[in-house]
């Protein structure tokens, strides 16, 4: 029985800024990728996770956990990535239902090219405006808003 009351003015303002700024920044990063003829951010998220996972790859449900995408979304996103030759779907030895997704060489290359643009967007959009200390402070505050069960 914690929060029954309406939000404080401070909470409303912080929420409003968070909504507006995040939407605006996503939009700009997305625009930059489009400008470069590159796939959307969602593809980067998945390619990034798969690149981190290495040759072992990841199961789709692990991607769901890591990325916050819905199950059906991952399913279709992986289908598109596979159609573009950026990932491979491999059968799993000990589970006939499942599959392992592994990033391909082309996938790594695409991720690299996306990062060249995406990374610059991040540098421009947040790195430019705030000092390292301020960025850390922002990260810390945002970290406190994550939900109980989520870790980094």
Partner DNA sequence: AGGCGATAGATGCAAGTGCATCAAGCTTGA
Partner DNA sequence: TCAAGCTTGATGCACTTGCATCTATCGCCT
Q: How far is the CB of 39 from a copy of itself (least distance, A)?
A: 16
State both tokens at 90.
């491999």
Indicate the length of the chain as a whole number: 152
How many residues sit close enough to a copy of itself to count as binding (CB under 8 A)? 55
Q: CA 104 to CA 133: how far, in whole Å?
A: 37
Q: How far is CA 118 from CA 7, 16, 56, 107, 111, in A?
A: 35, 25, 26, 16, 10
Q: Can residue 67 be called a binding residue for DNA (CB under 7 A)?
A: no
Q: Can residue 68 be called a binding residue for DNA (CB under 7 A)?
A: no
Q: How far is the CB of 50 from DNA (least distance, A)?
A: 13
Is residue 42 a contact partner of residue 69, using CB atoms and an 8 Å limit?
A: yes
Q: Can residue 10 be called a binding residue for a copy of itself (CB under 8 A)?
A: yes
> Is 114 buried (19+), middle (13-18) or exposed (0-12) by CB count in 10 A?
buried
User: Quick one: which segment of 11-19, 67-75, 108-116, 140-148 binds DNA (CB under 7 A)?
Assistant: 67-75
Nearer to DNA, 15 or 61 (CB): 61
Nearer to DNA, 76 or 106 (CB): 76
Nearer to a copy of itself, 16 or 92 (CB): 16
Q: Can residue 19 be called a binding residue for DNA (CB under 7 A)?
A: no
Binding positions for a copy of itself, rule: CB under 8 A: 2-8, 10-15, 17-28, 68, 119-120, 122-130, 132, 134-139, 141-151
Please give the residue ranges that form the binding site for DNA (CB under 7 A).
34, 42, 59-61, 70-73, 75-80, 89, 92, 94-99
């Amino acid at each position: 029985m914690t929060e029954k009351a309406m939000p404080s003015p401070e909470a409303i303002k912080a929420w409003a800024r968070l909504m507006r700024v995040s939407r605006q920044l996503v939009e700009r990063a997305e625009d930059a990728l489009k400008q470069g003829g590159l796939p959307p951010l969602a593809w980067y998220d998945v390619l990034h996770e798969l690149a981190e996972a290495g040759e072992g790859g990841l199961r789709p449900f692990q991607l769901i956990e890591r990325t916050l995408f819905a199950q059906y979304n991952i399913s279709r996103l992986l289908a598109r990535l596979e159609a573009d030759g950026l990932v491979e779907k491999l059968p799993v030895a000990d589970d006939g239902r499942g599959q392992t997704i592994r990033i391909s060489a082309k996938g790594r290359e695409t991720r690299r090219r996306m990062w060249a643009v995406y990374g610059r967007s991040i540098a421009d959009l947040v790195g430019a405006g705030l000092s390292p200390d301020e960025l850390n402070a922002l990260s810390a505050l945002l970290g406190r808003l994550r939900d109980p069960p989520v870790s980094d």
